[in-house]
């Protein structure tokens, strides 16, 4: 059984899309193993986005992800990482296909509703970062 971290970002929470998005994962028969509403600290955000620290929009990304509550989830299922990534669509909502979460609801490049781990390794690292109480 594979697991992944999914974060519904502040724009998804503000726009009241939590139920709609979680419902898509449930309809795919994935298990929501853990779910919590939280605020991401600047320190955690900077660690999470360290791979783009050199880019000019880094500060804006940190401001955005810390601007309000998020919903963090651990989702489990067969090939869940690949499936969830397909379900959410391309990073830029403008390039995401209709039928994907970003394609259906997104309207911005990095204020793009949702984050999902991209590999088994990043999933385990991100789960520890956002669910330290499970260690």
- For residue 41, what are the CA distances in angstroms to 16, 93, 121? 22, 25, 23
- At a CB cut-off of 8 Å and minimum separation 6, what does 125 contact? none
Catalytic residue status for 51: no
> Given 34, 48, 108, 115, which residue is catalytic?
115
- The alpha carbon torsion through 49, 100, 17, 59 (nearest 10 deg) reads 20
Q: Which residues pair with 116 in a beta bridge?
A: 6
Angle between helices 80-88 and 18-27 (to 10 degrees): 140
- Catalytic residue set: 115
């Amino acid at each position: 059984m594979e697991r992944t971290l999914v974060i519904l970002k502040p724009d998804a929470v503000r726009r009241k899309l939590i139920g709609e998005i979680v419902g898509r994962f449930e309809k795919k028969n994935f298990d929501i193993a853990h779910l919590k509403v939280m605020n991401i600290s600047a320190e955690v955000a900077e660690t999470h986005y360290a791979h783009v620290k050199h880019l000019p929009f880094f500060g804006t990304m940190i401001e955005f992800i810390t601007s309000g509550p998020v919903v963090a989830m651990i989702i489990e299922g067969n090939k869940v990482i690949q499936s969830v990534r397909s379900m959410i669509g391309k990073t830029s909502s403008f390039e995401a296909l209709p039928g994907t979460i970003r394609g259906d609801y997104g309207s911005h490049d990095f204020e793009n509703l949702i984050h999902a781990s991209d590999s088994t390794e990043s999933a385990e690292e991100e789960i520890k970062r956002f669910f330290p109480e499970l260690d």
